[in-house]
Amino acid sequence: MHTARGMDCIDCHTQRDIMGDGNIYSKQHQAIEIRCETCHGDDITYPMLLKVTDPKDEVIRLSRHYKGPANSLGDWMAVTERKNRMTNVKVKNGKIIVLGKKSGRVYNVPLTRDADAHYIPQHRSRLECTACHSNWVVKCQGCHMSISLGKKNRLENCRKAPHKSPTTSPDDRTSWKSCANVCTT
């Protein structure tokens, strides 16, 4: 999803993700400190933020090497799962933005809590974000409903599409009353 919008790997992944943090991990995914929630929050909370209070802070120092404006005292930066601040994800004009480290491009970050599509309880409790928000995964069209891919507005197509029986257990059938809220990616 992110590369399709023009972002580079380093726009999300930190130097600790790429170069390591000094610890040994048995699996590669354990070494990654970012999660979708780092920038997008979850269905209940917005992303965790910390204010830059030290002029010698690494988030100021590292951002000087990026295209675009450097971070400064008073900036509110997104915080990773390991409580490290992102160097290019911050609040600007009341919105979370990502600054492309190489491109200098500003990306507005959609927040999970503000999206209607994330209010399906079974999805929130049992699925990772990438179950829907990834270019390589199968979407609900095909398994749970028919859809015409020739039209521009996929959300409208989902709402009008005849829904098939879900492939989940009978106990989960109530979770598929409306697939339309899921088909917004």
Assessment of whether the complete model's pTM goes beyond 0.75: no
How many other C-beta atoms lie within 10 A of the C-beta of residue 75?
21
How many other C-beta atoms lie within 10 A of the C-beta of residue 11?
23
Residue 36 reports pLDDT greater than 80: yes
Average pLDDT over every residue of 89-108: 93
Residue 64 reports pLDDT greater than 90: yes
Average pLDDT over every residue of 115-119: 72
For residues 86 and 158, the model is more confident at 86
Average pLDDT over every residue of 93-102: 93
Residue 176 reports pLDDT greater than 50: no
Identify which of 82, 80, 76, 37 has the alpha carbon closest to the alpha carbon of residue 57.
76
The mean of the pLDDT values for the chain is: 75
Identify which of 62, 119, 56, 114 has the alpha carbon closest to the alpha carbon of residue 90.
62
Ranking 22-26, 91-95, 163-167, 175-179 by mean pLDDT, the lowest is: 175-179
CA atoms within 13 Å, Cβ hemisphere of 85:
21
How much is the pLDDT for 179?
40
How much is the pLDDT for 148?
52
Considering only the C-alpha atoms of the chain, give the largest distance between any 2 of them, rounded to a whole number of Å.
58
Residue 174 reports pLDDT greater than 90: no
